[in-house]
Amino acid sequence: MIAFVIRRLIQSVLVMIVVAFVAFSLFTYVGDPISIMLGQDYTEADRARIAAELGLDRPFFVQFARFVANAVQGEFGLSYRLARPVDELIAERLPATLELSLVAAIFALVVGVPMGVYTGLNRDSWLSRVFMTVSLIGVSLPTFLIGILLIFVFAVHLGWLPSFGRGEVVHIGWWSTGLLTVSGLKALILPAITLGLFQMTLIMRLVRSEMLEVLRTDYIKFARARGLTNRAIHFGHALKNTLVPVITITGLQLGSIIAFSIITETVFQWPGMGLLFIQSVNFADIPVMAAYLCLIAFFFVVINLIVDLLYYVVDPRLRADRGVAGGHTG
Amino acid sequence: MARPPANHPLLEVRDLRVEFPTRRGTLVAVDGVSFHIDPGEVLGVVGESGAGKSLTGAAIIGLLEPPGRIAGGEIRFDGRRIDNLPYEQMRRLRGKEIGAVFQDPLTSLNPLYTIGRQLTETILTHLDVTPAEARERAIRLLQDVGIPGAERRIDHYPHQFSGGMRQRVVIALALCANPRLVIADEPTTALDVSIQAQIITLLKRLCREHGTAVMLVTHDMGVIAETADRVAVMYAGRIAEIGPVRDVIKTPKHPYTIGLMGSIPKIDRREARLAQIDGAMPRLNAIPPGCAFHPRCPKAFDRCRVERPDPIHVDRSHVACWLYDRDDVRVGAVVDE
Ligand SMILES: Nc1ncnc2c1ncn2[C@@H]1O[C@H](COP(=O)(O)OP(=O)(O)OP(=O)(O)O)[C@@H](O)[C@H]1O
Ligand code: SF4
Ligand SMILES: [Mg+2]
């Protein structure tokens, strides 16, 4: 188990280094920070001086090492566009994105899993068919279209919910939350649904097909032969066996939710990292883009790690196999 | 469980018919099957693959998988009709009065729960005991089925047991509420040959100790000879011959049974199972008219191709074959072979 965690940690670090390299390459090959800093008119001497100051005259790997060392401390330099430290900008935008993503993921799970269980157990009921049809729409419509439709119906037409922004936020330390005010919560609803809908339908279909699969297994047949109640069979035995794939997909989807919040944030003018990123792309604001890239990769890596650890909690076979293997080798 | 002696068998199946409605008509997989099992009796059921053995067992415990359904006949348990019970009442019977053991012990246990949890949940479902008592009972059961170190092993997961050990656990699970009938559908087929005999011996011993009746489906005539009191031979969804085990093995009457006995394999050679008779059992959608066996039957005559034989009383057996319909010279001829 410990050996496994260490192995996974090393893998994660490797992934992060690769991502950092890509981000660093952005600096080196896409942007030219010196000309950005000096403007149009500068002499070769100016250029050499700045390069020396920034360490750009050093060998490539020294520069990269410095980039990594800074990145680990959250240092990504100044935004070209806003001339403010990138870590500050990110810290301002991070809570909005994380709250939106988390609420979207919870929405996807809380609605998707029960719908999946229901449609798996009642394959032929009319309600299942309704769910399946609706989910097909959810999977096939692009996010921005769903967002615009929701805005049209609930914001423009019915006027129940705001169409953009975060509403009122409360600051707790450096964290700003919209979860504590009515307007903040109202502002969350449409973007969260927009962002989570695809994942919800995905989870629903996944749970459904896993349930169907598990319900055909011998141990479910045997559980019935033992006279267990339907409740024990469906929720104790069947649902638990669908958890491993559901955890995998949900975990990976949480990463995509955070990454894909770019679109939702743009549609709803949600002041999160996604919006910041889009604005940075327009200005070729490399430091912000590099930081965003590293941060998203970091989230993916952390989530993957958690997912892998959850397997161990759910599935005893992994625990034992690894335990035995680890025990013999180390 | 001292009950007043009943004048009816423990299990009575009469004219059972199992169908699968399909788009291209109805498949009749079990057709007019009748037999009974007395309390404490072991009924062996043999027959080629697809003969309808498993479906008969599934029909008895009420676990036919849709679209399969009981389309006719009746099943009585302890005199009470159970083939048309509501789901919830049948559920209470399953595991409590009628246990089941399936073919593959590797897949019969939920991999995510300890065997102790699976045992206690079954015990708690059917018996009025506390969780602590259930656990104690579970440990005793594991000892009974020969799991060494039961107190410790109870908290292990299925994958930590070998195939044979798992099947012992499955047997403990089937017997944990002290059922009066166990349906064992090829309980050893998936196991290593060296372990098969142990498991059968175990099943036999436990059922004898508890007075549990068994419907034992198997391909292994050796097991039947050693274990069963009576045997039913199934062919194409019907019972070809049923009678005391000695009679069926020593003096088989139905031409199909005769063919089977002629092809009894060496017990230690696994691949040489039943049915070395020429030809194959017909598919369900192409069961020939008359006697379903007639295309393969060396004794077939005109009547066999037209009329379907029902089981006829012959000595102590019942045989579904026209040869025995009248005092015919053919009878002698068949038996002498
Ligand atoms: N869901 C189904 N739909 C259609 N036919 C089915 C279905 N399930 C079983 N059958 C058919 O019913 C027949 C009897 O099946 P059954 O499982 O009872 O055979 P069996 O005697 O137990 O064979 P085996 O020795 O292989 O276990 C087979 O011909 C099978 O093809
Ligand atoms: S009825 Fe005819 S075909 Fe069928 S087993 Fe008897 S002799 Fe053979
Ligand atoms: Mg079978």
Whether residue A110 is found in the same domain as residue A217: yes
In a domain, A100, yes or no: yes
Which alpha helices (DSSP H) does B244-315 contain, by range?
245-250, 255-262, 302-306
Whether residue A47 is found in the same domain as residue A97: no
Which range of residues forms the domain containing residue A29?
Answer: 2-35+42-61
Q: Other C-beta atoms within 10 Å of A327: how many?
A: 10
Q: How confident is the model at residue B154 (pLDDT cuts 50, 70, 90)?
A: very high
Per-residue pLDDT of chain A (330 residues; tens, 9 = 90+): 778 788 888 888 888 888 888 888 877 776 666 666 666 677 778 777 777 776 677 777 888 888 888 888 888 888 877 878 888 888 888 888 989 999 999 999 999 999 999 999 988 889 988 988 888 887 788 888 888 888 888 888 887 888 777 877 778 887 888 777 888 888 888 888 888 888 888 889 899 999 999 998 999 999 999 999 999 999 989 998 888 888 888 888 888 888 888 888 888 888 888 888 888 888 778 888 888 888 888 888 888 888 888 877 777 777 654 433 333 332
pLDDT score, position A31 = 62
Whether residue A108 is found in the same domain as residue A204: yes
Whether residue A7 is found in the same domain as residue A150: no
Structure-token match 């007395």, residue found: B38
In a domain, A160, yes or no: yes
Determine the residue of chain A that is closest to B126 in CA distance. Answer: A227
Whether residue A112 is found in the same domain as residue A53: no
**Cis amide linkage into residue B67, ω under 30° from 0:** yes
pLDDT score, position B4 = 53
Task: Tell whether ligand 2 has an atom less than 6 A from the beta carbon of residue B117.
Answer: no
ipTM entry: 0.86
Given A218, A222, A229, which is nearest B125 (Cβ)? A229
Judge contact between A79 and A228, C-beta under 8 A. no
Judge contact between B284 and B27, C-beta under 8 A. yes
Whether residue A98 is found in the same domain as residue A56: no
pLDDT score, position B273 = 46
The whole-number average pLDDT for the span B107-123 is 93
Chain A neighbors of B63, CB-CB under 8 A: 221, 224-225
In a domain, A256, yes or no: yes
Domains delineated in chain B: 11-235 (3.40.50.300), 241-265+274-324 (no CATH)
pLDDT score, position B329 = 44
In a domain, A233, yes or no: yes
Determine the residue of chain A that is closest to B175 in CA distance. Answer: A226
- Give CA–CA dist B108/B226, Å, rounded: 26
- Give CA–CA dist A271/B226, Å, rounded: 79
pLDDT score, position B268 = 45
Question: Three-state SS across chain A?
Answer: CHHHHHHHHHHHHHHHHHHHHHHHHHHHHHCCHHHHHHCCCCCHHHHHHHHHHHCCCCCHHHHHHHHHHHHHCCCCCECCCCCCEHHHHHHHHHHHHHHHHHHHHHHHHHHHHHHHHHHHHCCCCHHHHHHHHHHHHHHHCCHHHHHHHHHHHHHHHCCCCCCCCCCCCEEECCEEECCCCHHHHHHHHHHHHHHHHHHHHHHHHHHHHHHHHHHCCHHHHHHHHCCCCHHHHHHHHHHHHHHHHHHHHHHHHHHHHHHHHHHHHHHCCCCCHHHHHHHHHHHCCHHHHHHHHHHHHHHHHHHHHHHHHHHHHHCHHHHHHHHHHHHHHC
> Which SS3 state, helix, strand or coil, does residue B44 take?
strand
pLDDT score, position B293 = 92
Whether residue A55 is found in the same domain as residue A104: no
Whether residue A134 is found in the same domain as residue A271: yes
Separation of CA A184 from chain center: 21
CB-based contact A241 B121, cutoff 8 Å: no
| Tokens at B20, concatenated | 């699968």
pLDDT score, position B75 = 95
pLDDT score, position B278 = 73
Q: Whose CA is nearest to atom 5 of ligand 1?
A: B20
CATH code, domain with A128: 1.10.3720.10
Q: Which of B53-62, B104-113, B133-142 bottoms out in mean pLDDT, i.e. has the lowest?
A: B104-113
Give the CA radius of gyration of chain A. Answer: 24
Among A85, A77, A89, which Cα is nearest to A31's? A77
**Domains in chain A, number:** 2
Whether residue A20 is found in the same domain as residue A104: no
Report the separation in Å between the CA atom of A316 and the middle of ligand 3, taken as the mean of its atom positions.
31
Among A243, A270, A241, which Cα is nearest to A257's? A270
Q: Other C-beta atoms within 10 Å of A298: how many?
A: 16
pLDDT score, position B337 = 38
Q: Is the pLDDT of residue B272 over 60?
A: no
In a domain, A86, yes or no: no
B270 vs B325, higher pLDDT: B325
The conformation of residue B188, written as its DSSP 8-state character, comes to: T
> Which SS3 state, helix, strand or coil, does residue B81 take?
strand
pLDDT score, position A24 = 82
pLDDT score, position A77 = 80
The conformation of residue B288, written as its DSSP 8-state character, comes to: P
The whole-number average pLDDT for the span B135-154 is 93
Whether residue A106 is found in the same domain as residue A175: yes
Query: B296-337, pLDDT tens digit by residue?
Result: 888 889 999 999 999 999 989 999 999 998 654 444 444 443
Query: B197-213, pLDDT tens digit by residue?
Result: 888 999 889 888 999 99
Task: Tell whether ligand 1 has an atom less than 6 A from the beta carbon of residue B49.
Answer: yes
Atom of ligand 2 nearest to the CA of B304: 2
Chain B neighbors of A317, CB-CB under 8 A: 111, 157, 159
CB-based contact B157 A219, cutoff 8 Å: no
Hey, of A123, A222, A234, A317, which one would you mutate to test binding to chain B, going by the most B CBs within 10 A of its CB? A222
pLDDT score, position A124 = 84
Pairing of strands B42-46, B213-217: parallel
The conformation of residue B131, written as its DSSP 8-state character, comes to: H
The whole-number average pLDDT for the span B116-136 is 94
Whether residue A47 is found in the same domain as residue A103: no
In a domain, A215, yes or no: yes
- Give CA–CA dist B70/B144, Å, rounded: 36
| Tokens at A326, concatenated | 């680890």
Mean pLDDT across chain B: 87
Among B323, B25, B286, B157, which Cα is nearest to A320's? B157
CB-based contact B157 A227, cutoff 8 Å: no
| Tokens at A268, concatenated | 């709803």
In a domain, A80, yes or no: no
In a domain, A128, yes or no: yes
Whether residue A124 is found in the same domain as residue A253: yes
Separation of CA A58 from chain center: 36
Judge contact between B337 and B331, C-beta under 8 A. no
Q: How close are the terminal C-alpha atoms of chain B, in Å? A: 47
Hey, of A214, A217, A219, which one would you mutate to test binding to chain B, going by the most B CBs within 10 A of its CB? A219
CB-based contact B104 A314, cutoff 8 Å: no
